[in-house]
Amino acid sequence: MYFFSMKKLFFILIILLNFQGCGFKPIYSYNVNEENKGVISLLQKVDVRPISDRSGIELRQFLRERINQGPSSKKEFDLQVNISTRIQEIGIRKDSTSSRANYIVKANIILWNGSRRMLRDATTVTVSYNILDQQYATIASQRNAETRALRRISENIRSILSIYFSTTVLKK
């Protein structure tokens, strides 16, 4: 019994030592002793340009909350975001009215450094909501779906920027 537990411990130790040497580094980590603080400091240097419409204003606020965490610094990058939304009715009742819908948001992003385009990408999010018999309840449900979709889009954009910075900018 003791032999098998030691054997398991030995294999676990070997596996952990292999992971230590593989070069894995968390994307949002940074070494305080280094001059370059990593992805977090680069995200703080991104300025989000104004986005049109009410949903654009809400998305810009979500982006600023997720990207510009911590003390503000000199902005070196501009993030341009264009969003488009559409509603796709998917659940059809016997009386030919919809009972469920998808709220689809697509965001095209461009990251600028001065006049040089550094990154161009797109992300799409689909969230569902119920279409109810009461008009106000349907409006509230649709508004909640819109907010959830915009939050997820902002998280996706932060991930896209973080991966870009960690694989391209920090490798130079």
Q: Each residue of 46-67: pLDDT tens digit? A: 999 999 899 999 999 999 998 8
Tell whether the model's pLDDT for residue 35 goes beyond 60.
Answer: no
H runs (alpha helix) in the chain: 2-20, 39-44, 54-67, 135-164
Residue 156 lies in a domain: yes
Identify any residues that bridge with 83 across adjacent strands, giving them in sequence order: 107
Coil, helix or strand at residue 104: strand
More confident residue, 102 or 18: 102
Residue 126 lies in a domain: yes
Q: Each residue of 158-170: pLDDT tens digit? A: 999 999 988 886 6
Angle (deg, nearest 10), helices 135-164 and 54-67: 40
Q: Please report, for the domain that includes residue 163, its CATH number.
A: 3.30.160.150
Tell whether the model's pLDDT for residue 40 goes beyond 50.
Answer: yes
**Whole domain around residue 53: which residue ranges?**
39-169
Residue 161 lies in a domain: yes
- Residue 1 carries which side chain, given as an amino acid letter? M
Up-side HSE of residue 58: CA atoms within 13 Å toward CB?
A: 15
More confident residue, 14 or 127: 127
Coil, helix or strand at residue 99: strand
More confident residue, 6 or 60: 60
Identify any residues that bridge with 98 across adjacent strands, giving them in sequence order: 92
Residue 4 lies in a domain: no
The phi, psi pair for 84, rounded to 5°, reads -135, 140
Residue 160 lies in a domain: yes
Q: How many CB atoms within 10 Å of residue 20? A: 9
Q: What is the pLDDT of residue 71?
A: 66
Q: How many domains does the chain have?
A: 1
Q: How many CB atoms within 10 Å of residue 155? A: 15
Residue 26 lies in a domain: no
Q: Each residue of 97-124: pLDDT tens digit? A: 778 899 999 999 999 998 899 999 999 9
Quote the CA–CA distance of 43 and 157 in Å, as a whole number.
Answer: 11
Coil, helix or strand at residue 165: helix
pTM of the model: 0.78
Quote the CA–CA distance of 127 and 132 in Å, as a whole number.
Answer: 16
Q: What is the DSSP letter of 22?
A: T
